[in-house]
């Protein structure tokens, strides 16, 4: 446990019943229980665990497995039983998505979209009390120029505006990476990827039988769409007159219909978007994401000595079982994971969330 702003070490405490996850595109989470057997431990917990101010660093040996901000703690005491504190935390992206707002006018004209992200993160950290030590590298750039205006009276969350920018056509990915260097110093770094975050030059091979404990093949057409409309902001300059939201031009997929697919309508809401071109880019990106029910395996593995595959890295699955008696091979990118550490009577395991590489 460290102080969120200064990164000074506050304490080291054992945690039980731990589960944690991390993703590209949304906040990772952590939950665990710290046993409190006596008053000395209770005092240590009270001094070191301060919701909204304490940063958690989960280590596997000397390697940082997970890092984030503790937002909730629940002190539990049972009559003539054990006491404990239940802890919940989220990765540092949650600070930008849920707890920091744009409180000034910010105008960008023909600006590289990744430079907009860098400027917004630097803007957040320049405010008094807002610097979490997130390192902002000057590269990469995307070559995609955007016009954006953020007005102070919207009080828009910084991270959610970054998410909206990333979700447009020709968008990008972002996250806060964390690690400990060879000197033991802890780092939080803004990680950007265009069009995606890609880590590592070679694939990690996972086999069944072998490191893969189980898997699921999910095919979900319930969110599939081949026609799309995006809905934007609603003009409200004349309260006496009826007003309607801005709509994108309808997008359809005639080739799908000719091939026998039924029409499947989809829509999305971008209540802060007032520019028709931007709204149309959102609609095109959303339709591309929902076009087909892609079969993506969810794989449970036994982490090896090297730990978990990094987010953005690629894995090659090799499976031989009753479903694939002649063997199955697939290449996927890791976009999320959920770790269940080893405890008495339970071996360490991790679920990997994948997309086609």
210-238: per-residue pLDDT in tens?
A: 999 999 988 778 889 999 999 998 876 66
Structure tokens at 231: 């809905």
77-97: per-residue pLDDT in tens?
A: 987 778 999 999 999 999 999
- When pLDDT is cut at 50, 70 and 90, the band that residue 243 belongs to is confident
Q: What percent of the chain is modeled with pLDDT above 90?
A: 81
- When pLDDT is cut at 50, 70 and 90, the band that residue 194 belongs to is very high
Cβ contact 199:311 at 8 Å: yes
d(C-alpha 215, C-alpha 320), whole Å: 12
10-13: list long-range contacts, CB under 8 Å, 24+ apart: 10/47, 10/48, 10/54, 11/44, 11/47, 11/48, 13/41, 13/44, 13/45, 13/48
What is the residue-averaged pLDDT of the chain?
93
pLDDT at position 259, please?
A: 95
Q: Which of 115, 94, 105 is nearest to 160 (CA)?
A: 94
d(C-alpha 32, C-alpha 19), whole Å: 7
Given a cut of 90, whether residue 62 has pLDDT beyond it is: no
* φ/ψ of residue 128, rounded to 5: -55, 125
pLDDT at position 198, please?
A: 95
pLDDT at position 79, please?
A: 77
* φ/ψ of residue 276, rounded to 5: -60, -35
Residues 6+ apart with CB under 8 A from 258: none
Q: Any idea what the Cα angle at residue 268 is, between residues 262 and 273, rounded to 5°?
A: 145
Please give the model's pTM, rounded to 2 decimal places: 0.84
pLDDT at position 238, please?
A: 60
Q: What percent of the chain is modeled with pLDDT above 70?
A: 98
Given a cut of 80, whether residue 56 has pLDDT beyond it is: yes
pLDDT at position 46, please?
A: 94
pLDDT at position 140, please?
A: 95
316-337: per-residue pLDDT in tens?
A: 999 999 999 999 999 999 999 9
Cβ contact 224:293 at 8 Å: yes
Higher per-residue pLDDT: 16 or 306? 16
- When pLDDT is cut at 50, 70 and 90, the band that residue 240 belongs to is low
119-138: per-residue pLDDT in tens?
A: 999 999 999 999 999 999 99
| CA distances (Å), origin 44, targets 16, 49, 85, 127 | 17, 8, 12, 31
- When pLDDT is cut at 50, 70 and 90, the band that residue 239 belongs to is low
């Amino acid at each position: 446990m460290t102080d969120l702003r200064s990164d000074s070490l506050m304490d080291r405490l054992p945690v039980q019943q731990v589960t944690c996850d991390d993703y590209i595109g949304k906040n990772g989470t952590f939950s665990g229980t710290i046993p409190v057997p006596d008053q000395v431990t209770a005092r240590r917990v009270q001094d070191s665990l301060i919701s909204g101010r304490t940063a958690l660093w989960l280590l596997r040996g000397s390697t940082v497995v997970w890092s984030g901000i503790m937002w909730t703690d629940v002190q539990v005491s049972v009559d003539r039983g054990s006491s404990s504190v239940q802890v919940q935390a989220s990765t540092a992206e949650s600070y930008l998505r849920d707890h920091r707002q744009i409180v000034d006018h910010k105008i960008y004209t023909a600006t590289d979209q990744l430079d907009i992200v860098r400027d917004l993160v630097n803007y957040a950290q320049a405010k008094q009390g807002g610097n979490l030590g997130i390192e902002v590298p000057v590269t990469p750039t995307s070559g995609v120029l955007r016009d954006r205006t953020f007005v102070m009276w919207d009080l828009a969350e910084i991270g959610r505006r970054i998410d909206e920018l990333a979700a447009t056509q020709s968008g990008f990915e972002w996250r806060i990476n964390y690690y400990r260097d060879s000197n033991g110093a802890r780092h939080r770094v803004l990680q950007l990827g265009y069009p995606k975050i890609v880590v590592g030059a070679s694939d990690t091979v996972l086999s069944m039988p072998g490191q893969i404990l189980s898997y699921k093949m999910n095919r979900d057409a319930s969110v599939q769409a081949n026609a799309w409309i995006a809905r934007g902001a609603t003009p409200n300059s004349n309260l006496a007159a009826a007003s309607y939201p801005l709509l994108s031009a309808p997008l359809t997929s005639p080739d799908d219909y000719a091939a026998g697919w039924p029409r499947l309508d989809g829509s999305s809401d971008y209540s802060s978007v007032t520019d028709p071109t931007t709204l149309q880019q959102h609609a095109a990106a959303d339709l591309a994401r929902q076009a087909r029910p892609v079969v993506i395996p969810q794989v449970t593995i036994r982490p090896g000595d090297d730990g978990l595959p990094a987010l953005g890295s690629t894995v090659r699955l090799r499976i031989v079982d009753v479903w694939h008696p002649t063997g199955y091979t697939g290449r996927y990118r890791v976009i999320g994971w959920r770790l269940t550490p080893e405890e008495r009577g339970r071996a360490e395991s991790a679920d990997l969330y994948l997309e086609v590489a």
